[in-house]
Amino acid sequence: MNTPMTALQAATPKLILASGSRTRLMLLQAAGLSVAVQPAAIDEDAVKQQARAEAMPPDAAALRLAGLKAAEVDDPDALVIGADQILVCDGHWFDKPVDAAAARMHLQALRGRRHVLLTAVVCRQGGHTVWRHVAAPALRMRPVSDRFIDAYLALEGDHVLSSVGAYRLEGPGQQLFEDVDGEHAAILGLPMLALLEFLRGHGVLLR
């Protein structure tokens, strides 16, 4: 899948998003970028388990995941963008819920508490990492009731299964929160301000 080139972007190198995330693609498109999509197939659970076994900090683990995704795309002429996100609450890492019951448990565990979304992005070109960055937006969920959680999950359906926190801040999930500190795009999956600054410095975008 390719999106049209805009006047803000150089013809080369082409950009490839190594992710099947529709939200990440929409963030890039909204910023006026032409991007091809080539989802990477890596075993995220295995990578996280290994990271935990190595006592790796969660921000480093997020960078490892993003880097592995970017490295999966074999195109020497492209600038490849890999991204990943790890949610941490009181030292516990959260993975994407596998079903509605797991999503309910996520929301019950997060309510009334502050958590951090470690949002990592890695750019590779010509087989080398040329840039990496981690944003750490923090969110505090209000002490929502079980009734609200059940109503929210019924409204959102399978959409919540694509988020590590079992919520979509770009949708009704914003009703879950009492305080949000950080870039909105980073919460959704890509730290766009930092990424755009890198792309300008790398000659991909006009300064």
Catalytic residues: 84
User: Taking a C-beta distance cutoff of 8 angstroms, is the pair 115, 180 a contact?
Assistant: no
> Helices H, strands E: what count in the chain?
7, 8
Alpha-carbon distance of 180 to 137, in angstroms, equals: 8
Residues 7-35: b if buried by 16+ CB within 10 A, e if exposed: eebeeebbbbbbbebebbbebbeebebbb
